[in-house]
């Protein structure tokens, strides 16, 4: 089974069990995840939920976009069903009424961020590498990431546009994680959670094992990032990095410039919209509408080919320049189409409180 739901005492457990594919998500896994979450959320005997990934490489490397690439042209619209149900799950996690503990050990990317960073007890280790790399495959940060990253301000904009992965301290700084523990303490944490008698016991177990994350690499560059990402246009952001001239800035400009021009402009527009959005559901709806239109773009399939299929890491974007992507093209993508939107369902109880350290 690719996803295993189980119970240990008053703890509900969800295990992503596809280690050979770095626990990438499929539609059946998303559906089983949702069923398990709904079951645990509505069961008074369950005090908390724990989400982990099988294997030692990572929690989850995202959605299995290889499936999208391999679909026949007439079938590609079916991938909208995956996004719809995945985004509904992301919103369900964001408002979960009990402690939702997720071990973000190893690789956590794309859809893996969606099932973790919306949770209320997000645990990273010294092995964690967290990223939203979608602009590198001709797409944009989805799964509610525009909500998360827009609230991380300059660090969020940089992560979205550069597709850079970050370690534990920067993930916490960006609001994508809460608690750092040593990887060797994962098993003791799981053992402790299996013996909880009340929701409050979760934080006791986490505080016992928590370590100080220190300063992340990106926190040192906050003023620089703030100045560069104050611009609305991607080409102005790149130019600002180039003018600053430091090694970090020039690398940032190079990293962003290598990504899909269409994806970059759509990403920036979605982030600006998300900054004023009232809730994560609004952002997920905006992302879904854009995602459905991106199914018709060249860059999405070219990006998947270069990164995942042929692995030559040399995508040929079209258009290949930012100034060749018109504002009308971006607006057309953001406008969506007539594909049925996600239907978000509220819990009967209020969301569980955020981590307070």
pLDDT in tens, 19-37: 999 999 999 999 999 999 9
Both tokens of 277, joined, read: 């959005």
The pLDDT value given to residue 78: 85
* Helix, coil or strand: residue 170: helix
Q: Is the pLDDT of residue 76 over 90?
A: no
> Using one digit for the tens of pLDDT, what is the confidence trace for 233-257?
999 999 999 999 999 999 999 999 9
The pLDDT value given to residue 153: 97
Q: Measuring CA to CA, which residue among 142, 158, 145 is closest to residue 217? A: 158
Q: Report the 10 Å Cβ neighbour count for 212.
A: 6
Both tokens of 207, joined, read: 């505080």
Q: Among residues of the chain, what percentage have pLDDT more than 70?
A: 100
The pLDDT value given to residue 15: 99
Please give the Cα distance from 123 to 251 (Å, whole number): 29
| Strands (DSSP E) found in 62-164 | 100-104, 107-109, 121-124, 129-131
Task: Indicate the pLDDT class of residue 50, thresholds 50, 70 and 90.
Answer: very high
Would residue 145 be called left, alpha or beta, if left means φ above 0 and alpha means ψ between -120 and 50 degrees? alpha
The alpha carbon of residue 67 and the mean position of all alpha carbons in its chain are separated, in whole angstroms, by 19
Over residues 187-210, the mean pLDDT reads: 98
The pLDDT value given to residue 159: 99
The pLDDT value given to residue 241: 99
Please give the Cα distance from 179 to 327 (Å, whole number): 41
Q: To the nearest whole number, what is the mean pLDDT of the chain?
A: 97
Task: Indicate the pLDDT class of residue 171, thresholds 50, 70 and 90.
Answer: very high
In terms of C-beta density within 10 A (0-12 exposed, 13-18 middle, 19 or more buried), how is residue 128 classed?
Answer: buried
The pLDDT value given to residue 28: 98
Q: Report the 10 Å Cβ neighbour count for 28.
A: 11
> Using one digit for the tens of pLDDT, what is the confidence trace for 149-163?
999 999 999 999 999
Please give the Cα distance from 165 to 131 (Å, whole number): 4
User: Which residues does 44 contact at the CB level (< 8 Å), separation at least 6?
Assistant: none
Over residues 201-224, the mean pLDDT reads: 96
Both tokens of 172, joined, read: 């916490």
If you search the block for the tokens 């611009």, which residue do you land on? 231
Q: What is the CA radius of gyration of the chain?
A: 20
Reported as half-sphere exposure (CB side, CA atoms, 13 A), residue 115 has a value of 34
Q: Measuring CA to CA, which residue among 309, 347, 299 is closest to residue 100? A: 347
Please give the Cα distance from 198 to 200 (Å, whole number): 5
The pLDDT value given to residue 246: 97
pTM above 0.85, yes or no: yes
The pairing of beta strand 107-109 with beta strand 58-60 = parallel
Both tokens of 169, joined, read: 């301290």
Q: At what angle do helices 234-244 and 261-275 cross, to 10 degrees?
A: 100
Task: Indicate the pLDDT class of residue 317, thresholds 50, 70 and 90.
Answer: very high
| Cβ atoms of residues 185 and 124 within 8 Å | no
Please give the Cα distance from 130 to 147 (Å, whole number): 16
Domain 3-334 has CATH 3.90.226.10: yes
Q: Is the pLDDT of residue 77 over 90?
A: no
> Using one digit for the tens of pLDDT, what is the confidence trace for 108-148?
999 999 999 999 999 999 999 999 999 999 999 999 999 99
If you search the block for the tokens 């301290």, which residue do you land on? 169
The pLDDT value given to residue 51: 99
Q: Is the pLDDT of residue 357 over 90?
A: no
* Helix, coil or strand: residue 16: strand
């Amino acid at each position: 089974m690719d996803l295993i739901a189980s119970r240990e005492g008053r703890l509900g457990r969800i295990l992503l069990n596809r280690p050979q594919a770095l626990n990438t998500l499929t539609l059946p896994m998303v559906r089983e995840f949702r069923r398990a979450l709904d079951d645990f959320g509505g069961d008074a005997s369950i005090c908390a939920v724990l989400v982990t990934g099988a294997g030692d490489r990572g929690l989850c490397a995202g959605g299995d976009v290889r499936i999208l690439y391999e679909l026949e042209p007439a079938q590609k619209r079916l991938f909208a069903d995956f996004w719809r149900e995945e985004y509904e799950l992301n919103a369900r996690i964001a408002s979960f009424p009990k402690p939702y503990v997720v071990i973000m050990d190893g690789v956590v990317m794309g859809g893996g961020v969606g099932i973790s960073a919306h949770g209320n007890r997000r645990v990273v280790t010294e092995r964690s590498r967290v990223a939203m790399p979608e602009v590198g495959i001709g797409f944009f940060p989805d799964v509610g990431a525009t909500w998360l990253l827009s609230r991380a301000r300059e660090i969020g904009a940089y992560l979205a546009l550069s597709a850079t992965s970050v370690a534990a301290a920067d993930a916490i700084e960006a609001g994508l994680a809460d608690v750092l523990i040593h990887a060797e303490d994962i098993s003791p944490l799981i053992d402790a959670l299996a013996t909880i008698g009340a929701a409050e016991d979760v934080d006791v177990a986490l505080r016992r094992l928590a370590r100080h994350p220190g300063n992340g690499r990106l926190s040192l560059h906050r003023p620089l990032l703030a100045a560069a990402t104050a611009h609305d246009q991607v080409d102005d952001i790149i130019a600002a990095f180039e003018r600053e001239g430091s090694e970090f800035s020039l690398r940032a400009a190079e990293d962003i410039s290598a990504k899909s021009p269409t994806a970059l402009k759509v990403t920036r527009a979605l982030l600006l919209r998300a900054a004023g959005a009232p809730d994560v559901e609004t952002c997920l709806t905006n992302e879904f509408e854009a995602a459905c239109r991106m199914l018709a773009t060249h860059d999405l399939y070219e990006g998947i080919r270069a990164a995942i299929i042929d692995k030559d890491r040399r995508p040929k974007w079209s258009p290949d320049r930012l100034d060749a992507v018109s504002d009308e093209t971006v607006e057309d993508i953001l406008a969506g189409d007539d594909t049925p939107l996600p239907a978000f369902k509220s819990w009967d109880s209020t969301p569980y409180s955020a981590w307070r350290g």
